[in-house]
Amino acid sequence: MKINYNIIDLTKNVFCLKRKVNESTGKQFKLAAIEVDILTFVYMFKKDVSATHIIKDSNFKKNTISIHVDNLVKLGYLKRKEKLDDRRTIYLIPTAKAIEVAEHNIKKMHALNKQLLRGLTPDQVKIMQNNFKIINKNACDLLNNRSDYV
């Protein structure tokens, strides 16, 4: 089977666009793009988010996340809260400042999604969503070493 690079190119381009949105939001709030990404992640998951969750979900190294989380705590965007039954687990709680950044960034992401889907009919979008769900599951399986391809 011939390799179709369209999906690889699409993924790369969407990742670059997401980074540009994070950079734009970061510039507005005087934060690094990765810090905007962290705040958006914590906000979207709402509950029981630790730095470990962020590390597992991103392609950033542990020390990079640690440095930026420390900075966000120092700047008043995040608060740390110990898990009641395990003091080693520290949850990250977004402050009002973090919520403002995250909501602003999410609005920009929604606008980006609209631009990416411009010209597609609702039926085409629905088919794409179903296909992306399958592709995402396959990607998760590959990442979780359930395949010989990685």
The predicted-structure confidence for 95-128, as pLDDT tens digits, reads as follows 999 999 999 999 999 999 999 999 999 999 999 9
Look at residue 9 and tell me whether its pLDDT is greater than 60: yes
Task: Of 53-57, 113-117, 138-142, 146-150, give the range with the top mean pLDDT.
Answer: 113-117
The DSSP result for 36-90, as a single string, is HHHHHHHHHH-SS-BHHHHHHHSSS-HHHHHHHHHHHHHTTSEEEEEETTEEEEE
Mean pLDDT confidence for 5-14: 85
Start-to-end CA span in the chain (Å): 18
* 132 lies in the same domain as 95: no
Domain annotation covers residue 108: yes
- Contact (Cβ atoms closer than 8 angstroms) between residue 90 and residue 66: no
Q: How far apart are CA 90 and CA 78, in angstroms?
A: 12
> Quick one: pLDDT at residue 135?
87
> Quick one: pLDDT at residue 88?
72
Look at residue 3 and tell me whether its pLDDT is greater than 70: no
Instruction: Tell me how far CA of residue 17 lies from CA of 90, 95, 110, 142, in angstroms.
Output: 31, 27, 12, 24
Q: Which of 16, 65, 11, 8 is nearest to 41 (CA)?
A: 65
Q: Into how many domains does the chain fold?
A: 2
Domain annotation covers residue 76: yes
> Quick one: pLDDT at residue 146?
59
| CATH code for position 49 | 1.10.10.10
* 63 lies in the same domain as 25: yes
> Quick one: pLDDT at residue 2?
63
What is the average pLDDT value for the chain, to the nearest integer? 88
* 105 lies in the same domain as 44: yes
* 15 lies in the same domain as 65: yes
Residue 65 structural domain: 6-116
Higher local confidence (pLDDT), 143 or 77: 77
Q: Which of 32, 44, 62 is nearest to 107 (CA)?
A: 44
Domain annotation covers residue 1: no
* 138 lies in the same domain as 66: no
Q: Which long-range contacts (CB under 8 A, 24 or more apart) does 10-14 make?
A: 14/116
Domain annotation covers residue 65: yes
> Quick one: pLDDT at residue 124?
95
